């Protein structure tokens, strides 16, 4: 404790030395002016921290921004696992069965579909490309699933399909941002940030919003897809790695023992405490809390991120191989994380951009390989959540950022050597399962070529509204004051998709 | 030729009233500026009260004419009427008082203040008639509104039964409720914006200042519909941009009613409306998951005590008193720690003890939680031998016993439980064997496998 006292004395000494007569006078002038202006201009208050600035009743939230809060309504789901297939999988080879399209395989695309349209790469009049997979109906719900996903076809009765989702973005970056933040431009908080901001997190020794990536690359839109936008940065996603240290810079450096770390943190916090006693700024308390949480995480994060101790039959179920970075490992980790009370687990799997420019990007080969990588793990995830009863209050969402064209891509007007499809946002398939979702439902109709939705279309905003509803929010009421106006995840749009609610 | 003069004069009432207000206010100010016992300003004061009184009479007459020719009821205007005349009379009386005196009369300030109050109150009543009684209150922050005892009671929206909606009277049970929710506040007998009253079928047929708002069988030609679908920015769009907007399904219902002939006798089923459009209005009697009885909320103190002990403790929603308690950060919780939960015994609806140190003995404590709905005892030393005591938790719906030592006989002890819906017993001795017995509840034992397929290993 003597050392701590010394530190505090040092701090006080330094402060006093800095306080010259000039500083004092300048402070007096500027602060008096500030005092007069503050009530006129609402200070720098964004309106959201009015509770904090009162300084008198500090809520649990002010001290710990991740402290849990009750949802406005009783939600059906407590946690979310969002599986995002970055690059956009082809709905025409997975879920949207179009026998008519097969009949017109290799025929020129009708002009009526192309009129006034812009595509990312298609130029002129492309040929139609028939489905490259065999489709069959599965389960009691009779959902169409292709032979690209043989395992998933066994669990279709757990999920609700949205077959006519549309987006207005046709490039990966903006479309991913739109799907994850509700806006194709940078600066908005991601879905996971909104949810952790609104509900906090159950387990105080783990981050509330965890991001896991696979497929060799992170999403095209960069880390903004799990960013916190204008929300406090504590609500951004924490990227955990499935190889090496799960969270970078969390472990103690060599030669630093846990006891030493404990002493270090308690010394820092004592100094911070005295700062708080002097200034009463709740940010200081939040900082004290963050140090303590990081200290607790050092134990729990490596524990929950370790899949080695899972029994063999679980590894067999998921097809996991410990020590590698894979979608399978991430699925198993996602289950472990929600089991431990993490609010939002976001998975990104890269490599779905099947333009047909090379072998890996071909519809008949590369896409099949990608499907094999996710088929067993995502089916296993649903079954594993189900057998543990976690599917009761965990929402699982699957989808890309848009869909793909029914036409063969003809980049630069040339015939390509591989089968491929261009970006297309008019109609694509997503699915949801778990907390509050109607099992075996299918919503959305597309035309004979799978080009456009012809009924029961849903927008990205509708999906966000539905997800927030399941978590216990009214998406129109859930706002954050920023730059003088309240912001919503769904902006001024979004309607509940009631047909897929249980 | 002359008959337009009177209603025109009536319509000048809102302008005329400002004359006596200004003149009298000036007179009253002079009263307060003059000194006791002197005759300073006396002439001006006299003139002000005389002119004020005359204009007050003119205003009152114009007001009476407005009442006669515009759509106001006597109930709405009566007090404004009386107080208007009272103001006029009081002005003349003050003029008389000042006129007969040579110096400032006694108590003139008091009397002038009284006149001022009277005038202010009359003006306020008039404002209420023009702008509505909520005019001033509306802009106050909600906390202040409730402080002065003003609660906005929103008109209930349209609610339809899922079965038998075809037989509903289209106007009375569908259109009128939509109008009540979206239009009534400005189009009612007391507040006749555009001279339109939408509170009854007959009044609606009368139309407004631009004539009829209905063309039977043609919604596009009917202002009742066409103004709803104008762009929001359009000046003629209804309801006004800043007001609550009806759902697009509600607008569709109005369109279909007009196209059907806009009659009072039509049935909802006669239109081409489908269930998709009605979906948002169906009243789903959804049985809440947690018990329906009311309990007192847990005290703030007991909640913060629980949090300090290391529990996750939160209400299931902002408006609910049921508590969700989890030991996810209190893994050392053991049977002895039970007393810590005592203060919130009646409020606990969700209790997660996964991974804690509890033993079979905890069950004897758990059965004292009358409203427990979800209980998680995963990864604990529960053997299942005394599981039957949970039969006393009458509200229990979901029971989690994953990774414990429970077997079939312990589950059988619960087969008479009245409400139990799901029991999870994955990775237990029970799950090792096939369970052929059927229970009222779903027994989930898991052990799912995804058999290896040749395609699992084929790389294309």
Residue B416: both structure tokens together: 């008479």
Chain A's closest residue to B310, CA to CA, is A204
Q: What are phi and psi of B16, to 5 degrees?
A: -60, -35
Residue B160 carries which DSSP code? B
Which secondary-structure segment (H or E) carries B326?
A: strand B323-326
- Give chain A positions within 8 Å (CB) of B306: none
| Contacts for A163 with CB less than 8 Å, ≥ 6 apart | A91, A95, A96, A427, A429, A442, A443, A444, A445, A446, A456
- Alpha carbon distance A160, A152 (integer Å): 13
Q: How far is CA B290 from the centre of its chain?
A: 24
Q: What are phi and psi of B48, to 5 degrees?
A: -60, -45
The per-residue pLDDT for B150 is 65
- Alpha carbon distance A501, B11 (integer Å): 56
Write the pLDDT tens digit of every residue in A258-286: 888 889 999 999 999 898 888 887 778 87
b or e along A326-350 (b: 16 or more beta carbons within 10 Å of the residue's beta carbon)?
bbbbbbbbbbbbbbbbbbbbbbbbb
- Alpha carbon distance B455, B460 (integer Å): 10
Q: Where are the alpha helices (DSSP H) in A42-90?
A: 50-54, 60-63
Shortest CA gap B346–chain A (Å) = 18
B280 at A interface, C-beta within 8 A:
yes
Residue A210: both structure tokens together: 């965890």
Q: Mark yes or no for CB contact A202/B398 under 8 Å.
A: no
CA dihedral A314, A319, A324, A327 (to 10 degrees): -100
Write the pLDDT tens digit of every residue in A317-353: 999 988 888 999 999 999 999 999 999 999 999 999 9
Residue B391: both structure tokens together: 């039969």
A319 at B interface, C-beta within 8 A:
yes
| Surface of A (382-421) touching B: CB under 8 A | 383-384, 386-389, 392
**Distance from first CA to last CA of chain B, Å, rounded?**
95
The per-residue pLDDT for A58 is 63
| Contacts for A453 with CB less than 8 Å, ≥ 6 apart | A164, A166, A426, A427, A444, A445, A446, A447
ipTM of the complex: 0.85
- Give chain B positions within 8 Å (CB) of A75: 317
| Contacts for A419 with CB less than 8 Å, ≥ 6 apart | A129, A132, A356, A362, A363, A364, A408
- Give chain A positions within 8 Å (CB) of B318: 70-73
The CATH architecture assigned to A79-246+305-500 reads 3-Layer(aba) Sandwich (3.40)
The per-residue pLDDT for A54 is 39
> Is the separation of the CB atoms in A296 and A205 below 8 Å?
yes
A interface test, pick of B233, B314, B327, B403 with most A CB neighbours within 10 Å: B314
> Is the separation of the CB atoms in B65 and B57 below 8 Å?
no
B139 at A interface, C-beta within 8 A:
no
- Alpha carbon distance A71, A197 (integer Å): 11
Q: How far is CA B303 from the centre of its chain?
A: 29
The one-digit pLDDT tens for each residue of chain B (460 residues) are 577 888 899 889 989 999 999 999 999 999 888 877 777 788 899 999 999 999 999 999 999 998 888 878 888 889 999 999 999 999 999 999 888 877 777 788 899 999 999 999 999 999 888 887 777 877 777 667 777 766 555 567 788 888 888 888 899 888 998 888 888 877 887 677 888 888 889 888 888 888 889 888 898 899 999 999 888 788 888 888 777 788 888 899 999 999 988 888 888 888 888 887 887 788 766 778 999 888 899 998 999 899 989 999 999 999 899 999 999 999 999 999 999 998 999 999 999 999 999 999 999 999 899 999 999 999 999 998 999 999 999 999 999 999 999 999 889 999 999 999 999 999 999 988 888 888 999 999 999 999 999 989 889 8
The closest alpha carbon to B317, from B337, B288, B339, B340, belongs to: B288
B285 at A interface, C-beta within 8 A:
no
Q: Mark yes or no for CB contact A73/B317 under 8 Å.
A: yes
A57 at B interface, C-beta within 8 A:
no
Chain A's closest residue to B318, CA to CA, is A72
Shortest CA gap B350–chain A (Å) = 12
Whose structure tokens read 């103004």?
B227
Residue B221: both structure tokens together: 């030609």
Q: Mark yes or no for CB contact A70/B317 under 8 Å.
A: yes
> Is the separation of the CB atoms in A65 and A282 below 8 Å?
no
Q: Mark yes or no for CB contact A70/B398 under 8 Å.
A: no
Quick check: helix, strand or coil at residue A211? strand
Q: Mark yes or no for CB contact B328/A498 under 8 Å.
A: no
- Give chain A positions within 8 Å (CB) of B460: 364-366, 368-369
DSSP labels, B361-393 = THHHHHTT-TT--EEE-TTS---STTGGGGGG-
- Alpha carbon distance A130, A107 (integer Å): 10
Measure CB to CB from residue A202 to each of B280, B326, B450 and give the nearest one: B326
- Give chain A positions within 8 Å (CB) of B458: 372
What is the value of pTM for the model shown?
0.74
- Alpha carbon distance B362, B383 (integer Å): 11
| Contacts for A314 with CB less than 8 Å, ≥ 6 apart | A320, A332, A384
Whose structure tokens read 């087969």?
B415
| Surface of A (330-369) touching B: CB under 8 A | 340-341, 364-366, 368-369
> Is the separation of the CB atoms in A95 and A146 below 8 Å?
yes
Q: What are the contacts of B449-457 at 24+ separation with CB within 8 A?
A: B449/A313, B449/A316, B449/A317, B450/A151, B450/A154, B450/A317, B450/A376, B450/A379, B450/A380, B450/A383, B453/A150, B453/A151, B455/A147, B455/A150, B455/A372, B456/A319, B456/A372, B456/A376
For B300-444, which CATH class? alpha beta
Chain B's closest residue to A154, CA to CA, is B450
Q: Where are the alpha helices (DSSP H) in A347-496?
A: 366-387, 460-470
- Give chain B positions within 8 Å (CB) of A151: 450, 453
Residue B229 carries which DSSP code? S
Chain A's closest residue to B431, CA to CA, is A387
| Contacts for B223 with CB less than 8 Å, ≥ 6 apart | B210, B213, B214
The one-digit pLDDT tens for each residue of chain A (502 residues) are 677 888 888 888 888 877 777 777 877 777 777 666 665 555 444 444 443 343 445 666 777 888 899 999 999 999 999 999 999 999 999 999 999 999 999 999 999 999 888 899 999 899 999 999 999 999 999 999 999 999 999 999 999 999 999 999 999 999 999 999 999 999 999 999 999 999 999 998 999 999 999 998 889 899 999 999 999 888 999 898 767 777 777 777 888 888 888 899 999 999 998 988 888 877 788 788 888 888 888 888 888 888 888 999 999 999 998 888 899 999 999 999 999 999 999 999 999 999 999 999 999 999 999 999 999 999 999 999 999 999 999 999 999 999 999 999 998 888 888 999 999 999 999 999 998 999 999 999 999 999 999 988 999 999 999 999 999 999 999 999 988 889 999 988 999 998 899 8
Measure CB to CB from residue A70 to each of B314, B446, B460 and give the nearest one: B314
Quick check: helix, strand or coil at residue A256? coil
Which secondary-structure segment (H or E) carries A296?
A: helix A282-304
Whose structure tokens read 């006791």?
B36
Q: How do strand B312-315 and strand A479-482 relate by DSSP bridges? A: unpaired
Residue A242: both structure tokens together: 């499935």
Measure CB to CB from residue B444 to each of A75, A369, A387 and give the nearest one: A387
| Contacts for A412 with CB less than 8 Å, ≥ 6 apart | A123
- Alpha carbon distance B215, B205 (integer Å): 10
Residue B317: both structure tokens together: 């929603």
- Burial class for A424, CB neighbours closer than 10 Å (0-12, 13-18, 19+): buried
Shortest CA gap A372–chain B (Å) = 6
Q: What are phi and psi of A423, to 5 degrees?
A: -65, 145
The closest alpha carbon to A407, from A92, A88, A85, A145, belongs to: A92
Which secondary-structure segment (H or E) carries B130?
A: helix B108-131
Shortest CA gap A128–chain B (Å) = 23
Domain boundaries along the sequence of chain A? 79-246+305-500
Quick check: helix, strand or coil at residue A385? helix
Q: Mark yes or no for CB contact B317/A69 under 8 Å.
A: no
Whose structure tokens read 């002895």?
B336
Q: Would you put residue A42 in left (φ > 0), alpha (ψ -120 to 50) or beta?
A: left
Beta bridge partners of residue A300, listed in sequence order: none
B459 at A interface, C-beta within 8 A:
yes
The closest alpha carbon to B104, from B38, B46, B44, belongs to: B38
Measure CB to CB from residue A70 to each of B315, B422, B453 and give the nearest one: B315
What is the sign, positive or negative, of the torsion defined by CA atoms of B79, B81, B82, B85? positive
């Amino acid at each position: 404790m003597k050392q701590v006292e010394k530190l505090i004395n040092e701090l006080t000494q330094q402060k006093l030395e800095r306080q010259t007569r000039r500083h004092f006078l300048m402070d007096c002038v500027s602060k008096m002016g500030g005092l007069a202006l503050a009530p006129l201009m609402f200070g720098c208050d964004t309106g959201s921290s009015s509770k904090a600035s009162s300084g008198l009743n500090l809520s649990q939230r002010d001290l710990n921004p991740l402290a849990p809060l009750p949802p406005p309504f009783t939600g059906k789901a407590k946690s979310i696992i969002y599986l995002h297939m970055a690059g956009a999988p082809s709905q025409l080879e997975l879920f949207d069965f179009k026998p008519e399209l097969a009949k017109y395989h290799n025929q020129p695309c009708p002009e009526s579909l192309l009129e006034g349209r812009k595509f990312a790469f298609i130029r002129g009049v492309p040929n139609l490309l028939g489905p490259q997979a065999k489709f069959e109906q599965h389960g009691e719900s009779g959902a169409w699933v292709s032979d690209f996903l043989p395992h998933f076809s066994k669990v279709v009765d757990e999920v609700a399909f949205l077959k006519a989702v549309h987006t207005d973005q046709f490039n990966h970056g903006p479309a991913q941002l739109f799907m994850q933040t509700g806006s194709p431009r940078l600066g908005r908080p991601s879905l996971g940030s909104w949810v952790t901001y609104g509900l906090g997190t159950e387990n105080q020794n783990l981050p509330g919003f965890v991001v896991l990536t696979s497929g060799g690359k992170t999403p095209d839109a960069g880390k903004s897809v799990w960013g916190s936008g204008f929300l406090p940065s504590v609500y951004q996603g924490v990227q955990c790695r499935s190889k090496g240290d799960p969270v970078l810079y969390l472990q103690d450096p060599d030669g630093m023992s846990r006891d030493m770390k404990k002493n270090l943190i308690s010394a820092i916090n004592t100094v911070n405490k005295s700062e708080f006693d002097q200034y009463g700024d709740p940010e200081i308390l939040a900082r004290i809390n963050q140090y303590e949480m990081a200290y607790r995480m050092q134990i729990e994060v490596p524990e929950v991120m370790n899949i080695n101790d899972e029994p063999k039959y679980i590894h067999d179920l998921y097809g996991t191989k410990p020590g590698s970075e894979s979608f399978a490992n991430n699925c198993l980790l996602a289950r472990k994380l929600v089991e431990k009370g993490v609010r939002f687990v976001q998975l990104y799997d890269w490599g779905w951009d099947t333009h047909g420019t090379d072998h890996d990007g071909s519809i008949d080969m590369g896409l099949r390989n990608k499907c094999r990588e996710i088929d067993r793990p995502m089916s296993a995830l649903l079954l594993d959540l189900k057998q543990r009863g976690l599917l009761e209050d965990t929402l699982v969402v699957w989808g890309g950022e848009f869909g793909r064209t029914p036409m063969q891509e003809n980049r630069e007007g040339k015939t390509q050597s591989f089968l491929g499809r261009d970006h297309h946002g008019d109609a694509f398939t997503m699915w949801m399962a778990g907390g509050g979702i109607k099992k075996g439902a299918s919503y959305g109709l597309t035309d004979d070529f799978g080009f456009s939705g012809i009924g029961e279309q849903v927008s990205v905003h509708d999906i966000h509204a539905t997800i927030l509803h399941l978590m216990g929010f009214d998406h129109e009421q859930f706002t954050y004051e920023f730059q003088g106006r309240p912001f919503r995840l769904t902006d001024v749009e979004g309607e509940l998709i009631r047909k897929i609610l249980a | 030729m002359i008959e337009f003069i009177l209603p025109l004069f009536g319509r000048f009432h809102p302008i005329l009233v400002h004359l006596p207000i200004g003149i009298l206010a000036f007179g009253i100010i002079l009263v307060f500026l003059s000194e006791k016992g002197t005759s300073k300003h006396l002439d001006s004061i006299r003139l002000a009260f005389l002119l004020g009184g005359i204009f007050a009479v003119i205003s009152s007459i114009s007001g009476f004419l407005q009442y006669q020719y515009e759509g106001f009821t006597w109930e709405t205007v009566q007090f404004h009427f009386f107080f208007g005349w009272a103001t006029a009379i009081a002005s003349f009386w003050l003029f008389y008082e000042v006129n007969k005196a040579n110096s400032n009369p006694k108590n003139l300030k008091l009397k002038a203040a009284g006149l001022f109050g009277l005038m202010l109150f009359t003006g306020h009543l008039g404002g209420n008639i023009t702008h509505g009684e909520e005019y001033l209150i509306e802009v106050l922050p909600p906390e202040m509104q409730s402080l002065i005892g003003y609660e906005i009671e929103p008109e209930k929206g349209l609610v339809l039964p899922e079965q038998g909606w075809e037989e509903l009277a289209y106007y009375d049970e569908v259109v009128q409720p939509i109008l009540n929710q979206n239009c009534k506040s400005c189009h009612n007998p007391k507040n006749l914006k555009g001279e339109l009253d939408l509170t009854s079928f007959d009044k609606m047929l009368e139309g407004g200042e631009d004539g009829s708002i209905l063309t039977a069988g043609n919604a596009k030609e009917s202002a009742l519909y066409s103004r709803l679908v104008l762009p929001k920015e359009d000046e003629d769009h209804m309801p006004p941009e800043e007001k609550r907007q009806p759902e697009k399904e509600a607008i569709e219902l109005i369109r279909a009613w007009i196209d059907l002939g806009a009659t009072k006798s039509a049935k909802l089923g006669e239109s081409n409306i489908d269930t998709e459009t009605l979906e948002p209005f169906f009243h789903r009697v959804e049985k809440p998951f947690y018990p329906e009885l009311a309990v007192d909320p847990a005290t703030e103190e007991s909640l913060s005590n629980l949090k300090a002990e290391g529990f996750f403790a939160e209400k299931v929603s902002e408006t609910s008193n049921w508590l969700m308690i989890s030991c996810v950060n209190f893994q050392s919780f053991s049977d002895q720690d039970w007393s810590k939960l005592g203060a919130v015994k009646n409020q606990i609806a969700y209790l997660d003890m996964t991974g804690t140190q509890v033993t079979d003995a905890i069950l004897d404590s758990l059965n004292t939680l009358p409203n427990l709905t979800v209980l998680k005892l995963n990864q604990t030393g529960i053997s299942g031998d005394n599981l039957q005591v949970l039969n006393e938790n009458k509200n229990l719906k979901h029971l989690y016993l994953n990774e414990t030592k429970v077997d079939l006989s312990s589950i059988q002890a619960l087969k008479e439980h009245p409400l139990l819906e799901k029991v999870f017993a994955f990775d237990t001795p029970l799950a090792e064997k096939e369970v052929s017995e059927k229970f009222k509840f779903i027994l989930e034992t898991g052990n799912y496998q995804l058999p290896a397929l040749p395609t699992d290993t084929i790389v294309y």
